[in-house]
Amino acid sequence: MILRSAFAEHEVHYSTTEQSVADLHGITAPTLLSDCNKDQPLRALLCLIQAAILTLRFRPQVVVSTGAAPGLFCILCGRLIGAKTLWIDSVANAEALSLCGKISIRVAHQTLTQWAHLADGQRLKFTGSVL
Amino acid sequence: MILVTVGTQLGFDRLIEGMDQIALTLKEPIIAQIGDGSFIPQNMEYHRNIAAPEFEELVGRARLIVAHAGIGSVLTARRMNRPIVLIPRCASLGEHRNDHQIATAKQLNSLDEIYIVQSTLELQSVIEKIPTSIATRLQASSDARKLRQAIKGFINFGHI
């Protein structure tokens, strides 16, 4: 949400796994996705289907995600419909990129880390952080 | 009020003992969250753990946070616009499994309202240098601005 103003000039739709997060930031009508992780294959499948429906419904030109698995699914679905896709790895991952972040290096058009020492300057760039 | 926190995972006696030693000379209330630490403070209020909503409320009342160099503590301080003094955990003193907090602290060193100390001996002088009024609202850091610019560039031009 700290990055919100970066989207201000565009038509934006937000999706989250937590209604309370959207409420906190005054976002009306977000699409809710089921939270999931790599140890919950059924929930992950449900989330992937939700991400696909979300993507087909809004047909975004750009998909930006800050994580985690549900965001990766949105990036994947976005990629399949020709959207530009950007992964911003959480600032919490100071020691190493998240697992989803590592996957996104192969899936998203561009992956950003918020820690300069983790960047390789090519597929994984550092351009600043929310700190 | 100064809020001291060691984070939710491990105790950090060096920090708690260091703060307890200067608690009387600082002449302001201190509340410490000490986790599993074995050192018991004599000169300041302490709690083993503090539930999230209560912690949030304490951060709101604090003029300053003193913490281990954990990213969770840094994010809380940034979100609530509070200056934070960080002392990284040191693996050679058994304070963590590796020295990643020292690396993290080095990265954070250049940011406004984040103060890094390596030794508890520095705590008092650093704390006393931070203005006692509750901080004016932090400007968005230049790092945050750069990140937003990069995102705008990606949206408009498809690359960074």
pTM to 2 decimal places: 0.79
Q: Name the A residues in 83-112 with CB < 8 Å from any B CB.
A: 84, 86, 88, 91-92, 94-95, 109-110, 112
Its domain, for residue A21, covers: 14-126
User: Averaged over B136-144, what is the pLDDT?
Assistant: 68
Task: State the pLDDT at residue B107.
Answer: 84
For the segment B13-60, what is each residue's pLDDT rounded down to a tens digit? 999 999 999 999 998 999 999 999 999 999 999 999 999 889 999 999
How far is the C-alpha of A73 from the C-alpha of A53, rounded, in Å?
A: 11
- CATH number of the domain where residue A109 is located: 3.40.50.2000
Q: How many CB atoms are closer than 10 A to CB A20?
A: 8
CB A4 within 8 A of CB B147: no
How far is the C-alpha of B158 from the C-alpha of A38, rounded, in Å?
A: 30
Asked if residue A4 is part of any domain, the answer here is no
Residue type, B75: L
Residues 6+ apart with CB under 8 A from B139: B112
For the segment B21-33, what is each residue's pLDDT rounded down to a tens digit? 999 999 899 999 9
Task: State the pLDDT at residue B138.
Answer: 57
User: In b/e form, how buried is each residue of B29-42, taking b as 16+ CB within 10 angstroms?
Assistant: ebbbbbbebebebe
> Rounded to 5 degrees, what angle do the CA atoms A124, A125, A127 make?
155
CB B111 within 8 A of CB A91: no
Residue A98 or B79, more confident: A98
Residues from B contacting A (CB-CB < 8 Å) are 71-72, 74-75, 78, 100, 103-104, 107-108, 111, 140-152, 154-155, 158-160
Task: State the pLDDT at residue B135.
Answer: 54
Interface test with A, best of B8, B138, B141, B143 (most A CBs within 10 A): B143
Residues shown for chain B: 160
Q: Which pair of structure tokens corresponds to residue B82?
A: 């509070």
% chain A with pLDDT above 90:
80
How far is the C-alpha of A59 from the C-alpha of B56, rounded, in Å?
A: 39
How far is the C-alpha of A66 from the C-alpha of A75, rounded, in Å?
A: 10
Asked if residue A41 is part of any domain, the answer here is yes
Asked if residue A73 is part of any domain, the answer here is yes
> Rounded to 5 degrees, what angle do the CA atoms B99, B105, B106 make?
95
Confidence of residue B148 (pLDDT cuts 50, 70, 90): very high
In chain A, how many domains are there? 1
Paired sense of beta strands B64-68 and B84-87, if any: parallel
Task: State the pLDDT at residue B140.
Answer: 65
Cβ of residue A26 closer than 8 Å to a chain B Cβ = no
Q: Which pair of structure tokens corresponds to residue B2?
A: 């100064």
For the segment A23-60, what is each residue's pLDDT rounded down to a tens digit? 888 899 999 999 998 899 999 999 999 999 999 999 99
Q: Which residues of B touch A131 (CB under 8 A)?
A: 74-75, 78, 108, 111, 141, 143-144
Among A84, A92, A130, the residue with its CB nearest the CB of B154 is: A84
For the segment A69-92, what is each residue's pLDDT rounded down to a tens digit? 999 999 999 999 999 999 999 998
Task: State the pLDDT at residue B109.
Answer: 87
Task: State the pLDDT at residue B96.
Answer: 93
Asked if residue A9 is part of any domain, the answer here is no
- What ipTM score was computed for the predicted complex, to two decimals? 0.91
Element (H, E) at B106: helix B100-108
% chain B with pLDDT above 90:
72
Task: State the pLDDT at residue B141.
Answer: 73
Task: State the pLDDT at residue B111.
Answer: 86
% chain A with pLDDT above 70:
100
Chain A, nearest residue to B156 by Cα:
A62
Q: Which domains does chain B carry?
A: 2-157 (3.40.50.2000)
Chain B, nearest residue to A12 by Cα:
B155
Question: At residue B91, what are phi and psi to the nearest 5 degrees?
Answer: -65, -35
Q: Which pair of structure tokens corresponds to residue A92?
A: 């919490």
Average pLDDT over chain B reads: 92
How far is the C-alpha of A92 from the C-alpha of B16, rounded, in Å?
A: 24
Residues 6+ apart with CB under 8 A from A115: A91, A93, A94, A126, A129, B107
Confidence of residue A126 (pLDDT cuts 50, 70, 90): very high
